[in-house]
Amino acid sequence: MPALYNLARTRVLPNNVAIIGVDQANGTADGWATHLHKMLESFVGNANSEFNIDAIDEGLWQGLAGRMSYLQGDITKPEIYQSLSTALSNVCKQYNTRGNVIFYLAVQDRFFGDVVDQIGQAGLADQQEDEDGVPHRWRRVVIEKPFGHDLASAQALNVRILRTLQEDQVFRIDHFLGKETVQNIMAFRFANGLFEPIWNRDRIDHIQITAAETVGVEGRGKFYEATGALRDMVPNHVFSLLAMVAMEPPATFDAAGIRNRKAEVFAAMPPLRPQAAVRGQYGGGDVLGKHTVPYRNEPDVSRDSNIETYVALRVEIDNWRWAGVPFYLRTGKHMAERLTEIAIRFRPAPLSPFATTSVEALRPNWLIIRIQPDEGIALQFDIKRPGPSVQLATVQMAFSYADWFPREPNIGYETLLHDVMVGDATLFNRADMVEAAWRVVQPVLDSWAQDGSGLAPYASGTAGPDAADRLLEQDGGRAWRDIPQQRFVHSNGKNHQ
Ligand code: BG6
């Protein structure tokens, strides 16, 4: 809803739109609108949110709320789809929606297959095409993650939904791909001549991708007990970042061109060895000054749960660009700082130009793509410290989005919803991509399912378990970048908070 509100605010949402909510709970359109209005209110002046607004534009909201209706029913039963069919015909007449429909499945993943079957059986997935095969009454289905919970279930779900839908009707959403900074990776790499020649195994030592969160499971204990950090974050969000960094330049910058290149990255990743994975679980501690309880004491979590809330992995990409360059990935809850970044470490200088400085003392260059918060890009290099003797200091040249562009409230779903409306699938995952990602992590899931040992505890509010440090140490003494981290430094020398 914040995304729809934002699209309306920026006049991207057309007027001929109606929103039909379907839920099992007894409700009314007014009750639903009031509930959503309350949720919008929680964003007002909320500096912790990407959707930080000063006030709700009530006129705009009323316009949206007036187009909302509510249907009560069981989504596993055919009756509700008959009511939905009638409701869709009505709004089509009332708002001239031309019969175009987006079904947005914000339901538990176990219902995805059922709902798509029912949509099909009710005839709601049928498109009408002109003589060139272009749909002029389109039907599209957005499927939230998790898309399956392992390789076999993802394959089965693909087979099932593709019995009803064409692949180009399916939009498997990954909200990380809606983030501006993630989309910017392609512009940064391919709109500049400078970086691509050094973007390979000749110049890059290794890459670290971090998605650290300060939140815990936040009342989602039930979901998390069946999911864990690996399934929740890695084959989807973290791999999406990895694909953006690792993909070859596409021949065409359209959905097919870009998705083919990303799919090639996944295809070049050998299945993970269980030894290349570390899992951790948060204990009690302090996060941002607030005391937190251990994961096992969270509501709906088993007191002897073996579910990981942190995972670190070493992955490889076996192609000419990346052979021998490890990608270290980590994600966790209740960590010291909220930070999502891609950090590229370049090979060190081969010789020291100064008699007083050994080559080992030269610090390597880092290129850091900061996804959130403080979105930006920084290049870290050594310079001579001013003074009579030769001493080196490490400095950063930093670009911060906030310095260059006005900050727009944005939650990332705006772009994605808009893309579904215009039928652009570039930022969505294709069936083969989802399956390839599961294929990579499957051996780790299998090994963890068989062997409950090896879960490393970490105190909340830290950088994760020590075992994750050893994953890098054993690779020639490498180390993770710190969490929490020094802030980017503005060009005027002030710390950027
Ligand atoms: C969701 C996961 O997909 O992404 C959550 O289910 C996680 O567990 C969230 O907290 C992270 O997204 P963001 O945009 O807040 O970094």
Nearest CA to ligand 1 atom 14: 176
Helix, strand and coil in the chain, % to nearest 5: 35, 20, 40
Marked catalytic residue, from 175, 206, 237, 334: 237
**Polymer length of the chain:** 497
Taking the CA of residue 145 as reference, the ligand 1 atom at the shortest distance is 3
Rounded Cα distance between 280 and 203, Å, is: 32
Q: Kindly report the pTM of this predicted structure.
A: 0.93
Nearest CA to ligand 1 atom 12: 176
Residue 246 Cα distances to 42, 286, 497, angstroms: 38, 36, 30
pLDDT in tens, 53-111: 888 999 999 999 999 999 999 999 999 999 999 999 999 999 999 999 999 999 989 99
- For each of the chain's 497 residues, which pLDDT tens digit applies? 889 999 999 889 998 999 999 999 888 888 988 988 998 888 888 877 777 788 899 999 999 999 999 999 999 999 999 999 999 999 999 999 999 999 999 998 999 999 999 999 999 999 987 777 766 799 999 999 999 999 999 999 999 999 999 999 999 999 999 998 999 999 999 999 999 999 999 999 999 999 999 999 999 999 999 999 999 999 999 999 999 999 999 999 999 999 999 999 999 999 999 999 999 999 999 999 999 999 999 999 999 999 999 999 999 999 999 999 999 999 999 999 999 999 999 999 888 877 777 777 788 899 999 998 889 999 999 998 999 988 888 999 999 999 999 877 788 899 999 999 999 999 999 999 999 999 999 999 999 999 888 999 999 999 999 999 999 999 989 999 999 876 544 444 444 33
* Dihedral (Cα; 330, 335, 337, 341), 10-degree rounding: 10
Taking the CA of residue 217 as reference, the ligand 1 atom at the shortest distance is 8
Pick the CATH number of 177-407+430-496 from 3.40.50.300, 1.10.645.10, 3.30.360.10, 3.10.20.740: 3.30.360.10
Mutate to test the pocket of ligand 1, among 52, 109, 213 (most ligand atoms within 8 A of CB): 213
For ligand 1, the distance from its centroid to the CA atom of residue 307, given in whole angstroms, is: 17
For ligand 1, the distance from its centroid to the CA atom of residue 239, given in whole angstroms, is: 14
For ligand 1, the distance from its centroid to the CA atom of residue 213, given in whole angstroms, is: 8
Rounded Cα distance between 414 and 124, Å, is: 25
Taking the CA of residue 338 as reference, the ligand 1 atom at the shortest distance is 16
Taking the CA of residue 224 as reference, the ligand 1 atom at the shortest distance is 8
Is 177-407+430-496 the same fold as 2-174?
A: no
- Cβ 213 under 6 angstroms from ligand 1: yes
Residue 452 Cα distances to 127, 279, 303, angstroms: 48, 11, 14
Taking the CA of residue 372 as reference, the ligand 1 atom at the shortest distance is 16
Let me know: does 443 contact 273? Beta carbons within 8 Å. Answer: yes
Nearest CA to ligand 1 atom 2: 232
Residue 97 Cα distances to 61, 458, 474, angstroms: 20, 52, 59
- Cβ 232 under 6 angstroms from ligand 1: yes
Nearest CA to ligand 1 atom 13: 176
Catalytic annotation present for 237: yes
H-type helices in 247-386, by residue range?
255-267
Query: Which residues touch 466 (CB under 8 Å, ≥6 apart)?
Result: 456, 458
pLDDT in tens, 400-449: 999 999 877 788 899 999 999 999 999 999 999 999 999 999 999 999 99
What are the sequence ranges of the domains in the chain?
2-174, 177-407+430-496
Percent of all residues in the chain with a pLDDT value above 70, rounded to a whole number: 97
Nearest to 444 by CA among 265, 278, 216: 278
pLDDT in tens, 38-58: 988 888 888 777 777 888 999
Amino acid sitting at position 87? A
Nearest CA to ligand 1 atom 4: 233
For ligand 1, the distance from its centroid to the CA atom of residue 297, given in whole angstroms, is: 21
Mutate to test the pocket of ligand 1, among 144, 237, 311, 342 (most ligand atoms within 8 A of CB): 237
Fold of 2-174: Rossmann fold (3.40.50)
For ligand 1, the distance from its centroid to the CA atom of residue 177, given in whole angstroms, is: 12
For ligand 1, the distance from its centroid to the CA atom of residue 194, given in whole angstroms, is: 33
Indicate the helix (H) or strand (E) that contains 208. strand 204-212
For ligand 1, the distance from its centroid to the CA atom of residue 238, given in whole angstroms, is: 11
Nearest to 42 by CA among 2, 11, 3, 72: 2
Q: What is 93-154 written as a DSSP string?
A: HHH--TT-EEEEE-S-GGGHHHHHHHHHHTTTT--EE-TTS-EEE-EEEEEPSP--SSHHHH
